[in-house]
């Protein structure tokens, strides 16, 4: 029997005042596959452990099938957890590991029939007599999943179960997990920092940042209408292009968004979303463009709703089935602190260093993640030089996806067309202002 899980204003604060989860509310329907997604340290594993009963809830309520469950023992919650590091007993065979929880739950019963049935489901019958040390990483993860499945739990709780595996095996086991959970129909809460896993597995995705829930929705709706810059940057491959712009809305002329050396002219007549941008006149905003919103073409080939810009080729990534081209358009990128901003410089004063204990630094960082800005924007009047690329980032400010048959080389000047219908605009705090927040995505288009 599967079950519903509800979290109402749940918070987790450790003994020294460090709050890692802040007033999180979430309803998970029976049989739903929900993915908790976010960067390391955002509190997603803590939420999973509170659901399992391995962490005490500081504030708020956990309801299981509508019943208060904060004080319910982990063994009484009828949930099975799959851990990142497999957590197998090294001195037990696969059969022993799968059957161990069954022997604990029903000491007088023979677990063999359920162990064999689970092994057949996972295709590991020939591994039952091997020790964990004799298994590969993928085989050990299948045994760990078998231990959870054999219990016939009311919910699966999976804490980054694939992160220790190589990319090819991750993709294979990802498909197996999706098929198994659909077949069993059991409520599943899955924690990951990999947005590709989240988008391919989840019925819904819950994006977290600094202990705070940012957005919940289907993978398609979260991708189509991210609530803020953090969600937009975290969801999607390659990452969304985030450019700093300035809104120009003269009463007697066309509305434009200046991107530094170039500008986007919004097509007339203005749609409702773009009309609402008039209140941003003279203000700096963040322009979001996914790689598929820009194509390589001449201005004469523009379709309705497309506007022309140009870019200088800085780097070409050949992916086989596609090519990612990094352009320099003369724009300044907006930085998302948790994803790409450089670490703050350590204080040079000796006394400040002594006072800045590890605990205080952690508390300050946790507070910044919860309440700090989603993006980093300098004073628009400051004529600072363009920032150097963050660590690990390739040069250029605009990444465009194109076909592999186009021959591009570094230094080429290329005309580009931007589809304004796929334009995102965020305010200085990183909140989406266009398309308007009240609008729902038309996923049937």
Residues 176 and 47 reside in one and the same domain: yes
d(CA 288, CA 207): 18
Residues 35 and 97 reside in one and the same domain: yes
pLDDT at 362 exceeding the cut of 50? no
What digits encode the pLDDT tens for the residues 272-315? Answer: 888 888 889 989 999 999 999 999 999 999 999 999 999 999 99
Residues 190 and 173 reside in one and the same domain: yes
Give the chain's domain count. 2
Domain assignment present for 316: yes
Residues 245 and 206 reside in one and the same domain: no
Residues 207 and 82 reside in one and the same domain: yes
Q: Dig out the tokens for 299 from the structure.
A: 């201005």
What digits encode the pLDDT tens for the residues 316-351? Answer: 999 888 999 999 999 999 888 767 543 333 333 434
Which of 226, 242, 259 is a domain's end point? 226
pLDDT of amino acid 340: 55
pLDDT at 217 exceeding the cut of 50? yes
Q: Domain limits at 132?
A: 5-226
Minimum mean pLDDT among 309-318, 355-364, 430-439: which range?
A: 355-364
Give the contacts of 31 (CB within 8 A, at least 6 positions apart): 2, 185, 186, 187
Residues 35 and 103 reside in one and the same domain: yes
CB 277 within 8 A of CB 249: yes
State CA 64 to chain mean position distance: 26
What digits encode the pLDDT tens for the residues 221-280? Answer: 999 999 999 999 999 989 999 999 999 988 888 899 999 889 999 998 888 888 888 889
Cα separations in angstroms, 227 against 433, 438, 439, 445: 9, 10, 11, 20
Residues 147 and 51 reside in one and the same domain: yes
Which of 195, 226, 257 is a domain's end point? 226
Residues 198 and 273 reside in one and the same domain: no
Please give the model's pTM, rounded to 2 decimal places.
Answer: 0.82
Domain assignment present for 348: no
Residues 222 and 232 reside in one and the same domain: no
Residues 177 and 241 reside in one and the same domain: no
Domain assignment present for 250: yes
Residues 206 and 175 reside in one and the same domain: yes
What digits encode the pLDDT tens for the residues 126-153? Answer: 999 999 999 988 888 889 888 888 888 9
Domain assignment present for 371: no
* Domain CATH code at residue 26: 3.40.50.300
Which of 226, 242, 268 is a domain's end point? 226
3-state SS record for 79-115: EEEECCCCCCCCCCCHHHHHHHHHHHHCCCCCCHHHH
**Cα torsion for 42, 230, 360, 19, to the nearest 10°?**
-40
Question: 64 forms bridges with which residues in the sheet?
Answer: 5, 67
* Domain CATH code at residue 321: 2.40.50.140
Residues 67 and 192 reside in one and the same domain: yes
């Amino acid at each position: 029997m599967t079950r519903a899980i509800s979290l109402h204003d749940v918070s987790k604060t450790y003994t020294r005042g460090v709050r890692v989860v802040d007033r999180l509310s979430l309803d998970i329907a029976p049989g739903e596959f929900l993915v908790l997604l976010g960067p390391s340290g955002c509190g997603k594993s803590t939420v999973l452990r509170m659901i399992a009963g391995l962490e005490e809830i500081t504030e708020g309520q956990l309801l299981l099938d509508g019943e208060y469950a904060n004080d319910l023992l982990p063994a009484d919650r009828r949930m099975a957890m799959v851990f990142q590091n497999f957590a197998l007993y090294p001195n037990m065979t696969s059969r022993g590991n799968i059957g161990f929880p069954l022997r604990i739950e029903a000491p007088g019963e023979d677990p063999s029939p359920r162990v064999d049935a689970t092994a057949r489901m996972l295709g590991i019958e020939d591994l039952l007599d091997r020790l964990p040390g004799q298994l590969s990483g993928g085989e050990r993860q299948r045994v760990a999943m078998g231990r959870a499945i054999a219990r016939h739990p009311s919910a699966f709780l999976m804490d980054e179960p694939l992160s220790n595996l190589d990319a090819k095996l991750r993709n294979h086991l990802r498909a197996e997990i999706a098929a198994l959970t659909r077949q069993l129909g059991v409520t599943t809460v899955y924690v990951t920092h990999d947005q590709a896993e989240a988008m391919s597995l989840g019925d819904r995705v819950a994006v977290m940042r600094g202990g705070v829930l940012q957005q919940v929705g289907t993978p398609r709706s979260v991708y189509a209408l991210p609530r803020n810059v953090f969600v937009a940057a975290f969801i999607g491959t390659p990452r969304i292009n985030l450019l700093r712009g300035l809104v120009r809305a003269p009463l007697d002329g066309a509305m434009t968004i200046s991107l530094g050396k170039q500008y986007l002219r919004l097509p007339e007549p203005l749609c409702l979303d773009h009309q609402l941008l008039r209140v941003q006149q003279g203000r700096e905003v963040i322009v979001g463009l996914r790689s598929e919103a820009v194509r390589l073409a001449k201005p004469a080939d523009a379709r309705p709703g497309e506007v022309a810009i140009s870019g200088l080729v800085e780097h070409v990534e050949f992916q086989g089935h596609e090519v990612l081209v990094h352009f320099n358009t003369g724009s300044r990128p907006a930085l998302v602190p948790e994803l790409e901003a450089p670490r703050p410089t350590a204080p040079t004063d000796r006394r400040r260093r002594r006072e800045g204990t590890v605990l205080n630094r952690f508390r300050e960082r946790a507070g910044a993640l919860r309440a700090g800005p989603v993006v980093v924007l300098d004073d628009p009047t400051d004529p600072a030089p363009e920032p150097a690329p963050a660590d690990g980032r390739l040069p250029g400010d605009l990444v465009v996806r194109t076909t592999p048959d186009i021959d591009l080389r570094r230094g080429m000047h290329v005309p580009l067309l931007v589809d304004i219908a796929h334009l995102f605009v965020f305010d200085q705090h990183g909140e989406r202002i266009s398309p308007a927040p009240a609008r729902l995505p038309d996923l049937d288009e």
